[in-house]
Chain A
Amino acid sequence: MSIKFGLLALLERGAMYGYQLRAAFEESTGGTWPLNIGQVYTTLTRLERDGQVRSLPESDAGQRPYEITEAGRAELAMWFATPISRTDRPRDELAIKLALALTTPGVDVRAVVQTQRAATMRTLQEYTRLKAKSDASTDLPWRLVLDAMLFQAEAEMRWLDHCEASLVRHRPAPATTRPESAPATTQPAPAPSEEEARQR
Chain B
Amino acid sequence: MNVLELRDVHRTHGTGDTAVHALRGLSLQVRPGELIAVMGPSGSGKSTLLNLAGGLDRPTRGEVRVEGRVLAELSHRGLAEARRRGIGYVFQAFNLLPSLTAVENVALPLELDGVSVRKARREALRSLADLELTHLADRFPDQMSGGQQQRVAIARALVGPRRLVLADEPTGALDSETGEAVLRLLRTRVDAGAAGVLVTHEARHAAWADRVIFLRDGVVVDSSGPLAQPEQLLAVPGAGA
User: Which residues on A are within 8 Å of B, measured CB to CB?
Assistant: 2-3, 30-34, 39, 43, 90, 114-115, 117-130, 132, 150-151, 153-154, 157-158, 161, 164-165, 195, 198-199
Contact = CB atoms under 8 A, between A and B. Distances in A.
A118 B222 contact: yes
B207 A34 contact: no
B140 interface: no
Interface of B: 39, 41, 184, 187, 202-204, 206-209, 212, 214, 219, 221-227, 230, 233-236, 238-241
B203 A121 contact: yes
Contact of A195 (B39, B184, B221, B225): B221
Given A121-B203, A124-B203, A114 B234 contact: no
B207 A121 contact: yes
Given A32-B234, A32-B236, A117-B222, A161 B204 contact: no
B230 A154 contact: no
Contact of B234 (A31, A43, A121): A31
Given A3-B241, A39-B240, A157-B203, A122 B223 contact: no
Given A114-B221, A118-B214, 5 more contacts: A119-B224, A122-B225, A124-B203, A154-B204, A165-B41
A34 B239 contact: yes
Nearest to A161: B41
A151 B41 CA distance: 20
8 contacts: A34-B235, A39-B240, A118-B223, A121-B212, A124-B207, A126-B226, A126-B230, A199-B219
A123 B227 CA distance: 8
A160 to B, nearest CB: 9
B241 A125 contact: no
A39 B241 contact: yes
B131 to A, nearest CB: 16
Q: For the complex of A and B, list the 8 residue pairs with the smallest distance between their C-beta atoms, beginning with the closest.
A: A124-B207, A157-B203, A128-B207, A121-B224, A118-B224, A154-B204, A126-B230, A125-B207
Nearest to A168: B41
Nearest to B217: A199
A126 B222 CA distance: 18
A153 B239 contact: no
Contacts of A125: 207-209, 212, 224, 226-227
A124 B236 CA distance: 15
Contacts of A122: 224-227
A90 B223 CA distance: 29
A32 B232 CA distance: 10
Nearest to B187: A132
Given A126-B227, A127-B207, A129-B230, A198 B184 contact: no
Contacts of A164: 41
A143 to B, nearest CB: 11
A126 B212 CA distance: 12
Q: Which of B203, B208, B235, B236 has the most CB of A within 10 A?
A: B203
Nearest to B40: A161
Contacts of A30: 234
